[in-house]
Structure 1
Amino acid sequence: MINGDISKIKSNRLISSYIKKELNGKFINDAIQITYNKLDKDLEKIYKIFEKLNIQPVAENNANVEIMRINDEKEKFVTFSKKAKQIRNNNCDVEDFESFIGVVSKTLIGRQLYPLQLLSAYHLAFSQNACNFSVPGTGKTSVIYGAYAYLNSLSKESRKYVNKIVVIGPLSSFAPWENEYKECFNKKINSKRLTGIDLKEKKFFLETDTDIELILISYQGIINCKESMIKYLKRNRVMVILDEAHKIKNTDNGIIANTVLSLAFYANSRAVLTGTPLPNGYEDLYNLFKFIWPEKEVLGFHSYQLKDMTKQKLDNRIEKLIDNISPYYMRIKKTDLENMPEPIEIEPVMVKMDTIQRHIYDSLESKTVEEYLKNGKSSVLKRLRSAKLIRLMQVASNPGLLIKPIREEFIEYNSEYDFDITSMGLVNEITNYANNNIPNKFIETENIVRDIIKKSQKVIIWCTFVDNIKGLSKYLKDVGIENKVLYGGIPVNNGADEIEGSRENIISDFHKVDSEFSVIIANPHAVGESISLHKVCHNAIYFERSFNATHFLQSRDRIHRYGLNKNDEIKYYYLITEGSIDEIIHKKLWEKKQRMEEIIEKYPIPLFDNANDDFGDEEIRMLVKKYVERTSKY
């Protein structure tokens, strides 16, 4: 209750409206009654109003005690934040840091953390709650286990003590978390995957005491068992990890984000892991730090202000934002790693189209360019972005991929594909090609693969289209090259039952010295993140690519990661169909790659802006330009 001369407050319509709407306040005669939600935050807002109106408040005894407690907590958090920032800047208490290293070294008997990993783990152990924005391939999982090892070694009476981990992440991250634990601690972890089981079983497990140390659950999977997870967190001393945490960036009341954020209050320790904290803008930071410190406003800005900063690239508030969050996150870049080998970029293999493929491609390209020039981008750009450029990408690799949209268009009368081929002659040409021809890219891929496996080496082949993964796999098997495939349709083990041919089994078999296959064909969209192949595979072939730079960089990191030797040769091979959209994709991806890597190295929190967009106006203009250049020669 606020009593006294409140005339200044009542006369200010904006502030009086704010008190009513934001603070649930009621004006009763010469007093203001406020039903508070969170006392410390509401008091802070009230005092800001007093300061703005130059009002000197006098607190009564009971209120004064509460205000003193709140101010004391604020001072403690300021002191804590200063120390966390000192640790981040490698200005540690030497004795305490050495003690931490001693505990971690004795516990992580299978893994020796490098200096920056130790510093990051120490920062998390001290803070209990922190973000790790290190780039892919720098060992974020090992950092978490380092911090966990220390917190788990503390007395059970310590408020920092934890003895269980919950990882919320993509399905592809489950096996790496289990495998990394075994490599770090030299023992298998007792884990449970809460996927592939019915809701009743999931809830029963969470509401029953078990000796399970690690729980793995997906972002989608957490939605329908939130209350059961909260009960689990209340009963146990749990470190909650958000892996690939950019998936909760939605600040517009997204169900996944809201569900995950509601768990934060009940975790003993919280960690956020993502190498791309700002895929869209500064607003993407909002939920990440809200999860880390749900009762603190560490950002210092509202989400709408962060969105405004994204639009205003030179906004002077950005520097303040970065400074505000600096105590609460760590980040390791690739250039911070010692003894990382420089990857070898093999000169792209220019693949010539055969006569039939050339005619099919030219026919579709001319129609696409003609429609664009005739109608202008306003009416056809959306369609070009979805169907037409994808068709050109498919034909550049394998015209047989058009059989499916032809069937949809002509047999099932489904216009979803917007295939728009009016020439039955061209349809017959595509059909005959699919039945009788082997794409030249298949043959060139075979040649590269044979050279690699002759040296007793392994290789991963990246494809954009699933039907090309299947077709290339069959072709290689037909010519005697055993291989396995990884894409969205390949199942993930749920932990209860071992699924034959699962992603985990394929990756595990690939790592074996006596593996029956040395080739994996994969889709970067499905498995471009969370898997590590660098210990056994140093070659990657890009059969085809899209304009998406994020998928490209993530796929490269599967074989170029911390743990390599300085003398290891990491090789990237590229197949580019001559005189096709492949050339534009290669050029644009390389430009985006260089720009993104420059941003990663230059800025403390990299904002990629549109560097990873699939395609837009510029790409279409390049397509038109290339088409004109090529056809003008005829």
Structure 2
Amino acid sequence: MMSNEHAVNPSLCLNLCDGILTCKISGESMLIWNSSMYKIQLKRFVDSANSSNQNIQFKVHLTYPYYKRIIEIISRDAMNRGYVFEVAKEVKDHIKDRELFINERSNVGIAIKQQLGIVFSQFNEYKATVDSQMVRKLREKQMWDSFFMWTMKRAANFSVPGSGKTSSVLGVYSILNFQNQVDRVIMIGPKNSFGSWIDEFKACFEDTKSLNELIIHDYKNLEDKKKALLFDSNDKNLILLNYESIGSLISEITELIKQRTLLVFDEVHKVKAMDGIRAQFALEIAKESQYTIALTGTPIPNSYADIYNLLHILFHDEYNEFFGFSERQLKSPTTDDVEIINSKIQPFFCRTTKKQLQVPDANEDIVVASQASDAENKIFEILLMKYAKNKLALIIRLLQLETNPKLLLNAIENNGEDFSEILDISGEIEDIDYKDYSKEILSLIASIDKTEKFMTCLSLVEALYKQGDPVIIWCIFVDSIFRLQTELESRNIRAGVIYGGTESNNRQDILNAFRNGEVDVLITNPHTLAESVSLHSVCHNAVYYEYSFNLVHLLQSKDRIHRLGLPKNQYTQYYFVQNHYNHKNDGEYSLDQRIYERLLEKEDIMLDAIENNVLEQLTSVDDDIEFIFKNLLFN
């Protein structure tokens, strides 16, 4: 067989035919088709249904990095087996042009981020136009971010929460609208960001550009929503959609996006799951957009895999050309991978810190300790034994013990899925429920009316109230929110509540009442109110009664009262209530303290990454759990 193969000596020519990569085979074609080179290395790139004996047609979606890989595979085989392989000039030119285009685009992004002299003339023109359109002027750093997003057309803004990302995006809208290229902004984000977008639009433009919004929640049924997008949207300049609604409205949204639209994905980390259904809808919608901006203050809270969908939203057809990161490479990157990933994505995102915008630093955190009662300590020891093999469940149960032990008597529903954001995990918690307790623990639970941590929190809030200071209290459990409200109101302290079940209109009314001084204390949770709500003009004290080890929740909740717009000498104070147990084996133990320390460590990693102009990679849930229960004996 080998002598026959050398005698026939086929030749191959790689070319482009109607934009599709093809390879013409002259001579004995089966020596290619039957070769190990083809079967092991080349076959995965081939469209076998449209190929013939003498012609290999490659898959339509292949981009130039795949062209280079195919050339490398065939070239090596041709050298080893002694046949002729040629690459047509058209293919070489295509690869060269694409590399040049990507390099140029990358170089533009870097030039703007480094504020090189070659971009100053265009930046000054941009600034003059935006300033002429916006009543509230952008800060210098915000203007550079806005200029970056406008120039790149498809870009991400990873500026920290509270740094004014919305205003920078509205700067892009203002110039595109002035240039008659865009009529509207379509913003897709969480429901609780809608109010912020409306407020920011009014503040940025005032009477110079009247707001005419379409809010998808104003329409009750699906048919009305579809009609609104198709027939009531022509004169709207701000259309607000939430991630949950887009799946049933894809065709209507896509039709709008084709028509002079700036598409914005706010809090884009909401669609980070690689196989998530929301991500698929977002990817489909983004394909038709000419101008796309993705916003998040926490781009990769867990791993580099969190940017996979974000990059596909921005560069759907070009992902493999621009980046080419495999899912494996993002999920488990080597040190070299991390360097390559950051090098490639660095030109396509901008990032601003609050320090760069001269937001005054918050005060050092104040930790307020509470000491568990004897009954609470006994229940703590029992829970350690019962949940020794299920640490995630143990965290939930300990959080319940600290605030209302009677919650221990209820089953944790949906296998813990309701706690996925709090625990910063995906999926179910296995073997979670041990609610069938002995008479001893039932008696202990019944003996506790209000926990020591609950009373400590109340005393702290009451003291702040007596000083005349409005307060926001951050909780996890809805039960805690309403128990705190009831107790505060019994002390003649006006308390407003916002949680997941609060209607949108009621949320806004409660927020307005808090801003107007009609409510003294606002009680809420981070997965409801931790996005795009500004309270910094009226409130400077936040009490963390319950908190999770989700860094996103911590950062965004902090930034409700610490954000751009604070006067130079304004203080911001965070209080963290931490409960302590006397563990019979290890002395004092505090779950709250461990979680708090872990969050501070993650925050430091993020800030260090920003300073070094790279994306941070934080610890995993398993690492967090190991840290939280380190050196704690369970028997």
Normalised-by-shorter TM-score class: 0.7 to 0.9
1:2 aligns with 2:23: yes
Verify the 8 A CA contact 1:533 1:559 in the aligned structure 2. Answer: yes
Match of 1:198 in 2: 221
Match of 1:152 in 2: 177
Q: Alpha-carbon deviations, 1:134-190, whole Å to 9, x = none?
A: 111111111111111112111x3xxxx222111111111111111111111114521
SS of match in other structure, 2:613: coil
**Superposition pairs of residues 282-431 of structure 1, within 5 angstroms:** 282-296=304-318, 297-307=320-330, 309-310=332-333, 312=334, 314=335, 316-346=336-366, 348-353=367-372, 357-359=373-375, 361-371=376-386, 380-382=388-390, 384-386=391-393, 388-402=394-408, 404=410, 417-423=433-439, 425-431=440-446
RMSD between aligned alpha carbons? 3.1
Q: Alpha-carbon deviations, 1:287-313, whole Å to 9, x = none?
A: 211111222135533333423543x3x
Mind listing any 5+ residue stretches in structure 2 that lack a counterpart?
Answer: 1-21, 79-83, 415-430, 583-587
Cα gap change, 1:50 to 1:107, in 2 (>3 Å): farther
Amino acid at match of 1:80: R
Verify the 8 A CA contact 2:346 2:614 in the aligned structure 1. Answer: no
Amino acid at match of 1:292: L
Match of 1:31 in 2: 55
* Counterparts of 1:349 and 1:125, CA distance in 2: 46
Verify the 8 A CA contact 2:359 2:565 in the aligned structure 1. Answer: no
Q: TM-score, normalised by structure 2?
A: 0.83
Verify the 8 A CA contact 1:167 1:240 in the aligned structure 2. Answer: yes
Aligned residues: 577
Of 244, 247, 258, the match for 1:220? 244
SS of match in other structure, 1:149: helix
Cα gap change, 1:566 to 1:518, in 2 (>3 Å): same
Deviation at 1:490, TM superposition (A): 1.1
Deviation at 1:328, TM superposition (A): 0.9
* Counterparts of 1:300 and 1:446, CA distance in 2: 52
Amino acid at match of 1:349: V
Amino acid at match of 2:338: I
**Superposition pairs of residues 505-544 of structure 1, within 5 angstroms:** 505-512=509-516, 515-544=517-546
Amino acid at match of 2:223: K
Deviation at 1:257, TM superposition (A): 1.2
Match of 1:108 in 2: 134
* Counterparts of 1:261 and 1:607, CA distance in 2: 24
* Counterparts of 1:96 and 1:405, CA distance in 2: 61
Of 159, 162, 181, the match for 2:201? 181
Deviation at 1:612, TM superposition (A): 6.6
Match of 1:135 in 2: 160
The more displaced of 9-18 and 597-606 is 9-18
SS of match in other structure, 2:301: coil
Amino acid at match of 1:179: D
Of 94, 98, 112, the match for 1:87? 112
* Counterparts of 2:384 and 2:64, CA distance in 1: 62
Cα gap change, 1:440 to 1:305, in 2 (>3 Å): closer
Verify the 8 A CA contact 1:251 1:303 in the aligned structure 2. Answer: no
Verify the 8 A CA contact 2:578 2:592 in the aligned structure 1. Answer: no
Cα gap change, 1:70 to 1:352, in 2 (>3 Å): closer
Q: Alpha-carbon deviations, 1:175-213, whole Å to 9, x = none?
A: 111111111111452111223632211222222252111
SS of match in other structure, 2:86: coil
SS of match in other structure, 1:604: coil
Match of 2:86 in 1: 57
Match of 1:411 in 2: none
Cα gap change, 1:198 to 1:31, in 2 (>3 Å): same
Mind listing any 5+ residue stretches in structure 1 that lack a counterpart?
Answer: 373-379, 409-414, 493-498, 629-634
Amino acid at match of 1:198: N
Match of 1:232 in 2: 256
Match of 2:585 in 1: none
Match of 2:417 in 1: none
The more displaced of 446-455 and 273-282 is 446-455
* Counterparts of 1:261 and 1:24, CA distance in 2: 25
Match of 2:502 in 1: 490
SS of match in other structure, 1:344: coil
Deviation at 1:582, TM superposition (A): 7.6
Deviation at 1:539, TM superposition (A): 0.3
Match of 2:147 in 1: 122
Match of 1:632 in 2: none
The more displaced of 136-145 and 26-35 is 26-35
Cα gap change, 1:31 to 1:614, in 2 (>3 Å): closer
SS of match in other structure, 1:266: coil
SS of match in other structure, 2:395: helix
Cα gap change, 1:249 to 1:545, in 2 (>3 Å): closer
* Counterparts of 1:597 and 1:268, CA distance in 2: 36
| Percent identity over paired residues | 28
Cα gap change, 1:293 to 1:52, in 2 (>3 Å): farther
Cα gap change, 1:36 to 1:399, in 2 (>3 Å): closer
* Counterparts of 2:220 and 2:385, CA distance in 1: 52
Deviation at 1:100, TM superposition (A): 0.7
Verify the 8 A CA contact 2:471 2:539 in the aligned structure 1. Answer: yes
The more displaced of 121-130 and 552-561 is 552-561
Cα gap change, 1:225 to 1:444, in 2 (>3 Å): same
Of 98, 106, 129, the match for 2:124? 98
Cα gap change, 1:246 to 1:303, in 2 (>3 Å): farther
Verify the 8 A CA contact 2:594 2:628 in the aligned structure 1. Answer: no
Verify the 8 A CA contact 1:169 1:245 in the aligned structure 2. Answer: yes
Cα gap change, 1:317 to 1:449, in 2 (>3 Å): closer
* Counterparts of 1:274 and 1:536, CA distance in 2: 25
Match of 2:7 in 1: none
SS of match in other structure, 2:590: helix
Match of 2:422 in 1: none
* Counterparts of 2:374 and 2:253, CA distance in 1: 57
Verify the 8 A CA contact 2:485 2:495 in the aligned structure 1. Answer: yes
* Counterparts of 1:339 and 1:137, CA distance in 2: 9
**Superposition pairs of residues 540-559 of structure 1, within 5 angstroms:** 540-559=542-561
Amino acid at match of 1:274: T
